[in-house]
Amino acid sequence: MESKVNYPFIYFLMELNTVFVFRIKTHNYLNASDLMDYSEWKAFELQHHAQFETFNHEESEAIEGWGFWLEQDKLSDIVEIINDCIQQHRSVDQRLTTQAFHIVSSESAAGSVRVVLAPPKHVIGFPDCFSIGPLWKLEEKRGQAFRNDWLFENINDGQEDVYQNKFTNTLREIEDISNHVPIYIWYGNNADEQCGLRFFLYLLRDKSNEIFLINTTEHNKTHCPTSHLSSQQLAQLFMNIAENKPLTTQARLIFHNEWETLSQTNDVLRLWINNEIQGVPENYFDPLIIETIERLHNEQSTKDFIKTGTVIAELLPLIEELPSVFFLECRIRFLVYSGMLALKGIPKSMRHYSVKLRE
């Protein structure tokens, strides 16, 4: 596949003599699903492959009644090419120059923070859960690909087609932050947000912005993650941090070093234990899963299959720091594959199959 830019149009030579033209109409970064709007595409036919170098769609007639199909990998490549172009053509005003930037470790928490803040505002919610999956070299392309492969092979969250694009887009948003605005990082005392805090600070290591930390656990006296706090709680919390001082250079360096240590690890499950991030075996919750299924069997008149979603619902109040319901579902599938559990249904999501302990 070849491509070239005639902004706001991008040309893709995806077949021998066919050029597909995409029109960029936004300064927001795109995901693969955004490319499904055929109104933004046109197709043109060349007589010879060599004509692509001088091709201009305004001098050609578009093909009527066309269509195309792409593999997911190639679609992701196209999205990255388009987003590279969007990033290069953002003006200073379009680079999201607001009074402050807020970074949060989940998209749901970001939604709540957006409700709290008065405009102008910009909130970046990271589309990931850092308590599960490998963090090895995550600040590099190879580490991101490694993590993406692990998630694709293990986690049934329905995000496999958009995860990589969303992750990369969020990195772009952080890269685009102007140097003169303050940055607020919201986080709680759990492995997901503590890992995210260190990752964000590492990504911001070359920026001179003042950075303020908002610990939602310490300020709100609750152990739930930031995403579980109400907008009212977050609003009160933000009002109470007016006297917070920005991170010192020395403190930032400590966080950078801690991230570099984290990014050398091979753990796929992390918990916040004794005020530090600790890697634990990926089968850490397996005994509790087995115990819970056994208890549910004891409540049945006859031992029978139990919906996987029911098992997970029973587990939730038993786990103080929930890693991810999708990780728990992953472990239930592992127990099926390893012969501990019998299966009924197709394990494509937690609502599609049931399990029971083998005799």
- pLDDT tens-digit readout, 2-45: 999 999 999 999 877 899 999 999 888 999 888 877 678 999 99
The per-residue pLDDT for 91 is 64
The per-residue pLDDT for 140 is 97
CA dist 269 and 287 (Å) reads: 15
Across 138-148, average pLDDT: 96
Q: What is the residue range of 7's domain? A: 2-88
Across 247-271, average pLDDT: 97
Answer yes or no: is 56 within a domain: yes
What average pLDDT does the chain have?
91
CB-based contact 82:89 (threshold 8 Å): no
Identify whether residues 300 and 207 lie together within a single domain.
no
Answer yes or no: is 273 within a domain: yes
Answer yes or no: is 257 within a domain: yes
Residue ranges of E strands in the chain: 2-6, 9-13, 18-23, 41-45, 101-104, 122-125, 183-187, 211-215, 270-273, 276-279, 306-307, 341-345, 353-357
What lies within 8 Å, CB to CB, of 75 at 6+ separation is: 32, 35
The per-residue pLDDT for 38 is 64
The per-residue pLDDT for 40 is 83
Identify whether residues 240 and 291 lie together within a single domain.
no
- Where does a domain end: 231, 256, 277? 277
HEC-encoded secondary structure of 32-52: HHHHHCHHHEEEEECCCHHHH
The per-residue pLDDT for 57 is 95
The per-residue pLDDT for 307 is 97
Answer yes or no: is 96 within a domain: no
The per-residue pLDDT for 196 is 97
The per-residue pLDDT for 53 is 93
Both structure tokens of 40: 């933004």
Reported residue count of the chain is 359
Identify whether residues 145 and 24 lie together within a single domain.
no
Identify whether residues 108 and 233 lie together within a single domain.
yes
Per-residue pLDDT reduced to its tens digit, 93-111: 555 557 889 999 989 889 9
The per-residue pLDDT for 266 is 95
Per-residue pLDDT reduced to its tens digit, 174-199: 999 988 899 999 999 999 999 999 99
CB-based contact 227:108 (threshold 8 Å): yes
Both structure tokens of 147: 């993590």
Number of domains within the chain? 3
- Where does a domain end: 258, 277, 296? 277
**pTM score, whole prediction:** 0.90
Answer yes or no: is 75 within a domain: yes
* CATH for 300: 1.10.10
The per-residue pLDDT for 54 is 94
Per-residue pLDDT reduced to its tens digit, 66-83: 877 778 788 889 999 999
Answer yes or no: is 94 within a domain: no
Identify whether residues 82 and 161 lie together within a single domain.
no
Per-residue pLDDT reduced to its tens digit, 312-339: 999 999 999 988 999 999 999 999 999 9
**Confidence grade of residue 136 (pLDDT, cut at 50, 70, 90):** very high
Percent of the chain with pLDDT over 70: 97
Identify whether residues 178 and 61 lie together within a single domain.
no
248 has pLDDT over 80: yes
Per-residue pLDDT reduced to its tens digit, 153-167: 999 988 887 888 999
Answer yes or no: is 95 within a domain: no
- Where does a domain end: 88, 109, 138? 88
Identify whether residues 270 and 303 lie together within a single domain.
no
CA atoms within 13 A on the CB side of 271: 12
CA dist 233 and 116 (Å) reads: 9
Across 112-139, average pLDDT: 92
Identify whether residues 120 and 264 lie together within a single domain.
yes
The per-residue pLDDT for 35 is 84
263 has pLDDT over 90: yes
Give me the DSSP letters along 143-170: HHHHHHHHHHHH--SS-TTTHHHHHHHH
Answer yes or no: is 194 within a domain: yes
Identify whether residues 327 and 262 lie together within a single domain.
no
Identify whether residues 290 and 247 lie together within a single domain.
no
Identify whether residues 247 and 121 lie together within a single domain.
yes
The per-residue pLDDT for 152 is 93
CA dist 15 and 263 (Å) reads: 40
What lies within 8 Å, CB to CB, of 49 at 6+ separation is: 13, 16, 17
**Confidence grade of residue 230 (pLDDT, cut at 50, 70, 90):** confident
Identify whether residues 122 and 154 lie together within a single domain.
yes
